[in-house]
Structure 1
Amino acid sequence: MQTVPDWTRLHEAPEIQGHIRQSASDFEVTEVLDYALSGDGEHDYLWLEKRDANTTWIAGKLARHAGIRESDVGFAGLKDRNAVTRQWFSVRRPSSAGTDWDSFGLPGVRILEQARHGRKLRRGAHSGNKFRIALRGVDAPATTVNERLDLIRVAGVPNYFGAQRFGRDGNNLQLATDLFAGRRLRRNKRSIALSAARSYLFNHILQHRVREGSWNRLIPGECACLDGSNSIFVVDHVDQELQKRCENMDIHPGGALWGRGESACSGDILLLEQSAVAPFEELKKGLETQMDQSRRALRLAVRDLQWELDTQTLWLEFRLTRGGYATAVLREIASFPL
């Protein structure tokens, strides 16, 4: 069974110690959807706040209330369970009369706003998430805290997939191993297994780049990723303009999300990525039969970072692009039990 390592940090292990998620209100997530809703159409859009609840569980309850299939409910991304989260759901209207949402009620769930739109909300439609997080039990001088956070504000952090991607004790990686050995899995379990395997190999590639100090700079043969976008392009030559754009975090070095097909990168980068995943032949070959290869930024910009240290509680506020993990930021700030 694959073990999930303590991925190499950008800086030395943090001197700061603390605890996260002491209560749901210590971890707030607010989705950012950057397009206007039309006000008309066959889908109700619900701006919903949930506490201690899974996104998919909420989607099922919304479908049941509306009398529609669960597949007719849309959401842009999965949000943390042990948290207070705010996000949009789309729900297909079963008839022109629509659904009475005033009568919808679940413990810990509130509908904050209603709207309409012509299209279902698709995965990845949001631009990112805003976070407000309490790190409690912090016993470190303000100068230590400020120095570490100033570094993160300027440099960003390695864009690791969070530990939750791999499941408790790496169980999602075991699912992937079972899948590639021929075990049949239900659709949702299969998706979890593939995501875990892909994330695991990506994190190893990123760890190699962090260790050699190239995770935040472009190298010829690189595939650069446009910040906040799925757009990539091959870097044949690193000129001053590309260097400046990378320094400004408009573009980032990219790493492979493993799958079938030839890599778009070349040279030293291609050799590094192949070397990083070579010890995991089973996962590598399994992914090559299941998914097409793509790319993910190696660096995560931490936007609008603010903080306040008050009586051993460090309050943090920041914004991440979609796909970014708050725990990738927190692990560079402090050591904490998950």
Structure 2
Amino acid sequence: MPLASEAWLDRFVGMNYYVTDCEGIGGRIKERLEDFIVEEVLIDGQVVPTGITGKPLPKIVSKPGPWVWMIIEKRGIDAITLSLVISRKLGVNYRDVSFGGLKDAIAVTSQVVSVRGVSINEVPNDFGRDIKVLNAVSMDRAFTTSDIWGNEFTIKVRNIDVSRKDSINCVINQLMERGLPTYYGYQRFGLKRPNSHIIGKHIIFGEFEEAVNELLTHAYPMEPPRIREVREFIARTGDYSKALELMPRSYRYYPERAVLKQLASNPRDFVNALRKLPHELLNLYVESYQSYLFNLALSERIGRGLPINKALPGDAVALLDEHGLPTKHVIYVNESMVDKVNELIMRGRAVPVGHLVGYNTKLPPGLQSDIELDVLRREGVDLSMFMVKSIPKLSIRGGYRPLFTKPIIISTNLANDGLNIVFRLPRGNYATVFLRELMKSKHPEIDFT
């Protein structure tokens, strides 16, 4: 019987089961920013380093063009804030700032960020004390997701239960045997405010007032008391003008302030209030709900005792490229070909995938599709809802996501102050999903922040 999670946050974001059944080591991460280091790994294997690990800077060949690629090290900054800070400091539209992937906010992270419409000479050494520029080169195009392989994580887990040190190898061995579930991790939904998928669900259902209320008024216990008081004030009074005065001017509360500013002049204009948010953020909300549905379906597969690292008849399988990353070449497996496909999976040439549902998703007969349809029925979702008529740019066609991956473990070291572990994951995967299997925390809202 698969091991069910006891954590309310796991269930709240759809991660209902573990794939390993070893005891957890407990512990906490991110007690200090330096405890969680994320370094981007480029498609050619070069690492984009932080100053902490001392790795050399990657060799990126400069090309003349309207773009500048910057190697950025940031501390405790989320991706949306990073884009806003860079765009304002350089005087460009935030849509001219691009990167290959989101990184953890509560961490020290490094990545390549590209900006259009500036020259090398305009790039500063930093964008404030928490955003350093380690290098910059001119380039003829934007930096995109296709330029990265994934991330290397250097993590310290403190306050672990040393009596369970054997669990470290137990978890790693089972993950190599069974595969790491490709759940969307806590960061996708938020830890202090785990509600991006709830806002996204309201948008999909056309419930724009409810989406705004979730953004503005729902106070979560892990938020600072002052912010909870502001949210409760909005819920109680509906005084958007006064709330705009009370809401801090920090970049962290930019979404709330942008929406409040619109509502202060048009109190019932909820759709246009949402439109004041960056498209990337709105898209993140909708995709978060899509991610939640994926997590629920993956949980259900694990909960039924079905393998995630083997194909079953009716499963969709994506072929992998030379870097071990999924391609757009997806096949549906029938009974006659299942053995050959599983041979490809075992050799690292293919991977079973689940649907990231959208308005164009087709669900052929099979166990995985049955699971996904059950999830949609329970949620009351029709695929046509992902065609968002009031904000068409938020419409989602749908896609695929692998059901499992295998972490590359570089080193583990058990010290007096905790476990030091270094590992890599392909792009789109979350270190916290790996650490969740290792720690099995009952209170991730505390232990993962």
> TM-score, normalized by length of structure 1?
0.89
Counterpart check, 1:256 vs 2:361? no
Counterpart check, 1:334 vs 2:334? no
Task: Report how far residue 169 of structure 1 moved.
Answer: 5.1
Aligned to 2:106: 82
Counterpart check, 1:48 vs 2:72? yes
Matched residues, percent identical?
25
C-alpha contact 2:27 2:439 (8 A) present in aligned 1: yes
Counterpart secondary structure, 2:138: strand
Distance in 1 (CA, whole Å) between partners of 2:342 and 2:201 is 40
Aligned to 2:29: 20
For the structure 1 residues 103 and 299, does the alpha-carbon distance in structure 2 shift closer, same or farther, using more than 3 Å as the test?
A: closer
For the structure 1 residues 166 and 286, does the alpha-carbon distance in structure 2 shift closer, same or farther, using more than 3 Å as the test?
A: farther
Q: Which amino acid aligns with 1:297?
A: P
Q: Which amino acid aligns with 1:200?
A: Y
Question: Runs of 5+ in structure 1 lacking a partner?
Answer: none
Q: 1:322 aligns with which of 421, 427, 431?
A: 427
Q: Which amino acid aligns with 2:63?
A: D
Task: Report how far residue 78 of structure 1 moved.
Answer: 1.3
C-alpha contact 1:204 1:277 (8 A) present in aligned 2: no
Q: 1:228 aligns with which of 319, 325, 343?
A: 325
Task: Report how far residue 17 of structure 1 moved.
Answer: 0.9
For the structure 1 residues 118 and 144, does the alpha-carbon distance in structure 2 shift closer, same or farther, using more than 3 Å as the test?
A: same
1:233-267, CA deviations, whole angstroms, 9 ceiling, x for partnerless residues?
22234354422221234322111101112426433
Distance in 2 (CA, whole Å) between partners of 1:151 and 1:20 is 22
Distance in 2 (CA, whole Å) between partners of 1:28 and 1:82 is 9
Bigger shift: residues 294-303 or 170-179: 170-179
Q: 2:96 aligns with which of 64, 72, 76?
A: 72
For the structure 1 residues 147 and 321, does the alpha-carbon distance in structure 2 shift closer, same or farther, using more than 3 Å as the test?
A: same
Distance in 2 (CA, whole Å) between partners of 1:239 and 1:148 is 28
Bigger shift: residues 323-332 or 245-254: 245-254
Q: Which amino acid aligns with 1:26?
A: D
Counterpart check, 1:149 vs 2:172? yes
Counterpart secondary structure, 1:80: coil
Aligned to 1:206: 298
- Number of aligned pairs? 335
1:190-226, CA deviations, whole angstroms, 9 ceiling, x for partnerless residues?
3132112101110111112112222221012211123
Distance in 1 (CA, whole Å) between partners of 2:415 and 2:339 is 43
Counterpart check, 1:192 vs 2:291? no
Task: Report how far residue 34 of structure 1 moved.
Answer: 1.8
Higher-Rg member (1/2): 2
Distance in 2 (CA, whole Å) between partners of 1:312 and 1:194 is 40
Task: Report how far residue 114 of structure 1 moved.
Answer: 1.9
Aligned to 1:121: 143
Task: Report how far residue 175 of structure 1 moved.
Answer: 1.0
Distance in 2 (CA, whole Å) between partners of 1:103 and 1:217 is 48
Distance in 2 (CA, whole Å) between partners of 1:103 and 1:144 is 44
Task: Report how far residue 280 of structure 1 moved.
Answer: 0.5
Q: 1:215 aligns with which of 299, 308, 316?
A: 308
1:264-307, CA deviations, whole angstroms, 9 ceiling, x for partnerless residues?
64333322321233201147553355311211001022123421
Aligned to 1:31: 40
Distance in 1 (CA, whole Å) between partners of 2:381 and 2:333 is 30
C-alpha contact 1:66 1:93 (8 A) present in aligned 2: no
Distance in 2 (CA, whole Å) between partners of 1:29 and 1:6 is 23
Task: Report how far residue 335 of structure 1 moved.
Answer: 2.5
Bigger shift: residues 294-303 or 123-132: 123-132
Question: Runs of 5+ in structure 2 lacking a partner?
Answer: 1-10, 45-58, 209-270, 389-394, 442-446
Aligned to 2:337: 238
Task: Report how far residue 319 of structure 1 moved.
Answer: 0.8
C-alpha contact 2:25 2:168 (8 A) present in aligned 1: yes
Aligned to 2:54: none
Task: Report how far residue 56 of structure 1 moved.
Answer: 2.7
Bigger shift: residues 23-32 or 134-143: 134-143
User: Which structure has greater helix proportion?
Assistant: 2
Q: Which amino acid aligns with 1:313?
A: G
Q: 1:301 aligns with which of 406, 410, 419?
A: 406
For the structure 1 residues 67 and 288, does the alpha-carbon distance in structure 2 shift closer, same or farther, using more than 3 Å as the test?
A: closer
Counterpart secondary structure, 2:344: helix
Distance in 2 (CA, whole Å) between partners of 1:47 and 1:76 is 12
For the structure 1 residues 14 and 53, does the alpha-carbon distance in structure 2 shift closer, same or farther, using more than 3 Å as the test?
A: same
> TM-score, normalized by length of structure 2?
0.69
Q: Which amino acid aligns with 1:229?
A: P
1:119-149, CA deviations, whole angstroms, 9 ceiling, x for partnerless residues?
0112454221111111111123432322222
